[in-house]
Structure 1
């Protein structure tokens, strides 16, 4: 019996040690998480704009390899940004194609919480002049519900929709 108690005591000691180590690891990780959250909460508007620019650029590069970003304009708005994105479309492009590309961009923009309102302005050459051929604007509410929509519904849910006559 004496050996049994000694073995049980050893197992109990090991078990308690493991629990203490686990508790300490969780405690240390929670402290590090709090420090990270505190530092990310103190982002200046310029840093927020830079992070948003990088996120939008990554989305465009991943979604639309053949299109070029002409410009990105920001308007600061209560810790968020209103974003105007200017894109160069191909020379022979249809409205349907631009709506599909816009939809794919909006699905990714939906993941970025720093964007309040979002406007896409598509350009293409018309009579040797780079012309704005399609403009789509969306509110934050619409962007958050984009996964429930199809690309064909973008015309109806856009807060602003303008199509140039050259777009077929």
Structure 2
């Protein structure tokens, strides 16, 4: 009977050792990274989010992006970008920066609606100072207008009274 118990103990230890060895082999960091990359690439709106992030980084010297939200619809995407401006930026500068980014963004045909929300510190509070929303028709018109005319083609254009 004692040999029988010892045999099962040795067999149990062998299974535990093989199990731990198997877990250590399959717990590969590269496998996790590949799975995570595949999941992100197949996430709706992820490609648009990366493209917009790159476009905004090219335009801004500092890391001004607060948030990028992409809402997928049937065949289109609705994009919201929240940006932080410095307290020295004027409405004219914000419009120029927005226009330069919008021209690049307009080349993405899957974007049905695009909204810029600019924030600026006013009286020690981060305040929404400029909001602009453009539908697909307005994005298609960008090449025909200047940055000064963004308010005329935007479906929503709100400017804070403190913005110079």
Name the structure 2 match of 1:73. Answer: 69
Going from structure 1 to structure 2, the CA distance change for 1:149 and 1:50 (only over 3 Å counts) comes to: same
Equivalents in 2 of 1:123, 1:45: separation in Å? 30
Name the structure 1 match of 2:58. Answer: 62
Name the structure 1 match of 2:112. Answer: 116
| Partners of 1:77 and 1:116 within 8 A in 2 | no
| Partners of 2:66 and 2:82 within 8 A in 1 | yes
Equivalents in 2 of 1:117, 1:51: separation in Å? 16
Going from structure 1 to structure 2, the CA distance change for 1:67 and 1:158 (only over 3 Å counts) comes to: farther
SS of match in other structure, 2:150: helix
Stretches of structure 1 that go unaligned for 5 or more consecutive residues are 1-43
**Aligned-pair distance for 1:160?**
0.3
TM-score when normalising by structure 2 = 0.72
SS of match in other structure, 2:43: helix
SS of match in other structure, 1:72: strand
Equivalent in 129, 132, 139 of residue 143 of structure 1: 139
Task: Give the aligned CA root-mean-square deviation in angstroms.
Answer: 1.7
Name the structure 1 match of 2:163. Answer: 167
SS of match in other structure, 1:155: helix
Equivalent in 153, 156, 164 of residue 152 of structure 2: 156
TM-score when normalising by structure 1 = 0.70
SS of match in other structure, 1:121: strand
Going from structure 1 to structure 2, the CA distance change for 1:45 and 1:144 (only over 3 Å counts) comes to: farther
| Partners of 2:48 and 2:70 within 8 A in 1 | no
Moved over 6 A (4+): none
Equivalent in 33, 40, 53 of residue 49 of structure 2: 53
